[in-house]
A = this chain, B = another copy of it.
Amino acid sequence: MAKLRLKISISLDGFVAGPEQSIANPLGKGGERLHEWVVPLTVWRSTHGLPGGEVNESSAVVAESLVNIGATIMGRNMFGGHPGGWNAEKPWQGWWGDDPPFHHPVFVLTHHAREPLRLLGGTTFTFVTDGIHAALERARAAAGGKDVSLAGGASAARQYLGAGLVDEMELHLAPVLLGSGERLFEGLGDDLRGLELVRTVATPKVTHLKFARSAGGAR
* A positions within 8 Å CB-CB of B: 12-14, 18, 30, 171, 173, 175-180, 183-185, 188-192, 196-197, 200-205, 207, 209, 211
Q: What's the Cα separation between A149 and B131 when bound, in Å?
A: 50
Q: What's the Cα separation between A209 and B211 when bound, in Å?
A: 18
> In the assembled complex, how far is the CB of residue A191 from the closest CB belonging to chain B, in whole angstroms?
6
Question: Do A188 and B192 form a contact, CB below 8 Å, given A14-B14, A202-B202?
Answer: no
9 A-B interface contacts by CB (under 8 A) = A13-B184, A14-B14, A18-B190, A175-B211, A176-B190, A180-B190, A201-B202, A202-B207, A207-B209
Q: What's the Cα separation between A190 and B179 when bound, in Å?
A: 4
Inter-chain contact A175/B196, CB cutoff 8 Å: yes
Chain B residue numbers with a CB within 8 Å of A177 are 185, 188-192
> In the assembled complex, how far is the CB of residue A170 from the closest CB belonging to chain B, in whole angstroms?
13
Q: What's the Cα separation between A191 and B18 when bound, in Å?
A: 13
Chain B residue numbers with a CB within 8 Å of A12 are 14, 171, 185, 192, 209
Q: What's the Cα separation between A190 and B173 when bound, in Å?
A: 15
> In the assembled complex, how far is the CB of residue A88 from the closest CB belonging to chain B, in whole angstroms?
38
Chain B residue numbers with a CB within 8 Å of A188 are 13, 177, 179
Inter-chain contact A197/B190, CB cutoff 8 Å: no
Please pick, from B173, B192, B203, the residue contacting A176 in the complex, using a CB distance under 8 A.
B192
Closest to A201 in B: B202
Chain B residue numbers with a CB within 8 Å of A189 are 177, 179
> In the assembled complex, how far is the CB of residue A27 from the closest CB belonging to chain B, in whole angstroms?
13
Question: Do A175 and B207 form a contact, CB below 8 Å, given A14-B13, A200-B202, A202-B202?
Answer: no
Given A13-B184, A176-B190, A179-B185, 13 extra CB contacts under 8 A: A12-B171, A13-B183, A18-B190, A173-B173, A175-B192, A175-B196, A175-B209, A177-B189, A179-B188, A179-B190, A179-B191, A200-B202, A207-B209
